[in-house]
């Protein structure tokens, strides 16, 4: 009751059931049947116009900046040698262009050998004639080096160590080394898009280094539209 008394005597601005007509609310200059004051209408119009004008340049600029996230990149095949260049028992490093147009910065290195049924026992590998292991460390992306004497891939940055198949045996990496699809065109060995593997060598679409793929890792680090896929 007190609140009602108050609202009536001081102002009906905060009344519980105020009329929707400005004339009933005793607003000076009100028109018959008017529900929105001209002042309020003008304020709203100015704010809306300002928001449209700001959005007209801000939204395209934002989309322009974040556009590459949603753009898919077509994959391509790069010839890295002939059949006789590679053998079953050891890796041969090959350097090829991953991103064209930026010179040396667009190149990457892979370690390639022929498929060897004695060690490549994983069923998903049985169709590939060549195994190409990416030199990009699965920790943070430094280039690993194949050390023949140790039969290990070793990363110079933070000490990641991988075995012959690229599986992690030491250091901070979260998954095995990535691999590349390979194919034989006539006598030429070609390397295609990259793919990632989890610790059981199960294949996933390519991820960036530092993103685990075991357990819920594949959901926490989803595949992105920008990755080159086969």
Partner 1 sequence: MPKLPKLPAPPLPAALQAPPPRPSENGRKGGPIEDAKEAGISVVDWVDERTSLSGAGRWMLFRKVPKGTNWFYTLGSATMFAFLSQAVTGVFLAMYYRPDPAGGAYESIRHVTNEVFLGQFVRGMHKWGSSVMVILIFLHMGRTFFFGAYKYPRELNWVIGVVLLILTMVMSFTGYLLPFDQRAYWATIVGVNINGTGPLLGPYLSDFLRGGGEFGATTLSRFYAIHMMLVPGLIAALIGAHLYLVAKLGTTAPPWSKAEEQPELREDVV
Instruction: Tell me how far CA of residue 21 lies from CA of 4, 7, 35, 37, 184, in angstroms.
Output: 20, 18, 5, 9, 80
User: Min. distance of Cβ 116 from partner 1 in angstroms?
Assistant: 29
Q: How many CA atoms lie within 13 A of 225 on its CB side?
A: 7
Q: Does the footprint of partner 1 cover residue 176 (CB under 8 A)?
A: no
Q: Does the footprint of partner 1 cover residue 19 (CB under 8 A)?
A: no
Q: Does the footprint of partner 1 cover residue 28 (CB under 8 A)?
A: no
Cβ neighbours of residue 57 under 8 Å, at least 6 residues apart? none
Nearer to partner 1, 23 or 192 (CB): 192
Strands 179-185 and 188-197: antiparallel
Q: Does the footprint of partner 1 cover residue 161 (CB under 8 A)?
A: no
The CA-based angle 84-95-192, given to 5 degrees, is: 80
Interface residue with partner 1, options 27, 140, 154, 161 (CB under 8 A): 140
| Sheet-wide strand order for 152-154 | 145-147, 152-154, 161-162, 168-170
* The two three-digit tokens of residue 114, written as one number: 């022929």
Q: How far apart are CA 14 and CA 85, in angstroms?
A: 86
Radius of gyration of the CA atoms of the chain, in A: 32
Region near partner 1 per CB under 8 A, out of 22-30, 112-120, 144-152, 217-225: 217-225
Nearer to partner 1, 34 or 211 (CB): 211
Interface residue with partner 1, options 142, 154, 161, 201 (CB under 8 A): 142
Length of the chain: 230
Burial annotation 37-57 (CB, 10 A radius, 16+ → b, else e): beeeeeeeeeeeeeeeeeeee
Interface residue with partner 1, options 114, 178, 209, 218 (CB under 8 A): 209
Q: How far apart are CA 109 and CA 177, in angstroms?
A: 12
Q: Does the footprint of partner 1 cover residue 154 (CB under 8 A)?
A: no
Q: Does the footprint of partner 1 cover residue 105 (CB under 8 A)?
A: yes
User: Min. distance of Cβ 97 from partner 1 in angstroms?
Assistant: 11
Q: Does the footprint of partner 1 cover residue 208 (CB under 8 A)?
A: yes
Nearer to partner 1, 129 or 158 (CB): 158
User: Min. distance of Cβ 109 from partner 1 in angstroms?
Assistant: 13
Q: Does the footprint of partner 1 cover residue 227 (CB under 8 A)?
A: yes
Interface residue with partner 1, options 13, 65, 117, 186 (CB under 8 A): 65
Contact set with partner 1 (CB under 8 A): 65-66, 68-69, 71, 73, 98-99, 101-106, 140-143, 157, 206-211, 220-222, 224, 226-228
């Amino acid at each position: 009751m007190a609140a009602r008394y108050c609202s009536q005597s001081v102002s009906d601005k905060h009344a519980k059931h105020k009329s929707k007509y400005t004339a009933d609310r005793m607003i000076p200059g009100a028109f018959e049947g008017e529900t929105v004051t001209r002042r309020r209408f003008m304020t709203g119009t100015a704010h809306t116009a300002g928001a449209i004008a700001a959005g007209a340049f801000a939204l395209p600029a934002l989309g322009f900046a974040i556009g590459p996230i949603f753009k898919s990149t077509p994959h391509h095949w790069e010839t890295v040698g002939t059949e006789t260049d590679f053998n079953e028992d050891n890796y041969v490093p090959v350097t090829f262009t991953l991103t064209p147009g930026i010179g040396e910065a667009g190149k990457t290195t892979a370690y390639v050998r022929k498929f060897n049924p004695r060690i490549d026992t994983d069923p998903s590998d049985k169709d590939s004639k060549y195994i190409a292991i990416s030199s990009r460390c699965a920790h943070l992306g430094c280039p690993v080096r194949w050390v023949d004497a140790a039969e290990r891939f070793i990363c110079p940055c933070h000490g990641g160590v991988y075995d012959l198949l690229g599986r992690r045996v030491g250091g901070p990496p979260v998954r095995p080394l990535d691999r590349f699809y390979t194919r034989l065109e006539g006598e030429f060995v070609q390397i295609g898009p990259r793919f990632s593997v989890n610790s059981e060598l199960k294949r996933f679409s390519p991820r960036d280094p530092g993103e685990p793929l075991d357990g819920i890792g594949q959901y926490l680090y989803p595949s992105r539209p920008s990755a080159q896929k086969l």
